[in-house]
Amino acid sequence: MDKHHYIAPKARGPVADPKLFRPDWTTGTPRDPALLWLDKNENTDPEMAKLANRVLSEIDQTAIGTYPECAPLYHKLGAYLGIGADHLLLTAGSDGAIRSVFEAFIDPGDVVIHPVPTFAMYAVYSAMYGAKVIPLEYHPSDQGPSLPVEEVLEMIARSRPKLVCLPNPDSPTGTVFVPDQLRRIIEAAGEAGALILIDEAYYPFYAHTIIPWVDEYQNLVVTQTFAKAWGLSGLRIGFAASCPQVARLLHKVRPMYEVNTVALAIMEKMLEHSDAMTASVKRLNAGKEFFLDAMQGLGLKVLKSHGNFLHVAFGAHASAVHEHLKNKVLYRLDFKEPCLKGFSRFSATTPERFNPLIECIRQTINGKQE
């Protein structure tokens, strides 16, 4: 039988635009299991991995074959955060929460402000929903990427955006705005009639959260994920927190089920182990400081990120270091953005797991590698 030559109708303008590009979903880059994976800011603490695997083994096997029932986790998470369940939307990681904000609030032509460089999906969702992006560019400085708060305030006042996206800490820069600065930015967004999205994906590696502010500022949405500190990247579970009025709008665009049954079951149990999560963050932060101190001891320039990652500039030794590390560890070799040019990024791990890398780098710089 001859094939019918029907064609699909045209997609929405922003989706049909060839400038909106997504990677090929039929190909990938598998990571070598023999290497230490410090390339994607996952939790690499062995103790946290043991806990997560133990909790997984305790999950009722009916979870695989049943549709999700989200209400128990909403109430348990709300109690843990100190806010009502009606303030929350469970999502597929903080990425899902960010998309929900765009879907609920952004019309074609709306102005969106976000830093550059930052989490890649802000630009993707802006393009997907037809927003006009006004970037906030980080500047190079002797202390690393810099984005003065006055520039943010000026841009909000001048552009009158619909949405301000501000990760805190940001990635890949590792920078933060301190609470007093955040208040100024949130209030400036409110005066401009804008919603502000503060993405706290790296909480509590940076220990301050503004979730308690969501009732104070009705134009505020805070997102978090259980991927980083909780060591659950593969479950794809996170949430948005806001005042109940905004939460109701976000729920209007949620899928049939926010997250899967296995993720719900594991997260309900993991919330009972918050002390273990805190201890894991402490170990990883200690590992980060251990590595940074060692790199500084070798005369290398470093940036002290507020996330679960760090930056080091190997300078004239870069080619040799990269060559000697390539069979030991995966990490980000360099950045094209001027504010991070010349720096390599490593996800945090424990001091014990950093030790072999430090020794390899030390031998390379001292010219003792075979």
Separation of alpha carbons 182 and 175, rounded Å: 13
For 213, which DSSP code? G
Q: What is the pLDDT of residue 367?
A: 85
Q: Do domains 31-43+275-365 and 67-272 have the same CATH topology?
A: no
Separation of alpha carbons 370 and 368, rounded Å: 6
Q: Which fold has domain 67-272?
A: Aspartate Aminotransferase; domain 2 (3.40.640)
Give the list of residues 6+ apart from residue 180 with CB closer than 8 angstroms, or none.
Answer: none
Separation of alpha carbons 225 and 237, rounded Å: 6
Write down the domain spans for the chain. 31-43+275-365, 67-272
DSSP lists the bridge partners of residue 164 as 113, 196
Q: What is the pLDDT of residue 95?
A: 97
Pick the CATH number of 31-43+275-365 from 3.30.1490.100, 3.40.190.10, 3.30.1330.60, 3.90.1150.10: 3.90.1150.10
What is the signed CA dihedral for 38, 40, 44, 50, rounded to 10 degrees? Answer: -140
What's the pTM? Answer: 0.95
For 333, which DSSP code? -
Q: What is the pLDDT of residue 29?
A: 87
Separation of alpha carbons 72 and 91, rounded Å: 15
Q: What is the pLDDT of residue 6?
A: 87
- Whether 196 and 164 have beta carbons less than 8 Å apart is answered as yes
Provide block-wise average pLDDT over 10 residues at a time, the chain (370 residues).
Answer: 79 93 91 96 98 96 94 98 98 98 98 98 97 98 96 98 98 98 98 98 98 98 98 97 98 97 98 98 98 98 96 97 97 97 98 98 84
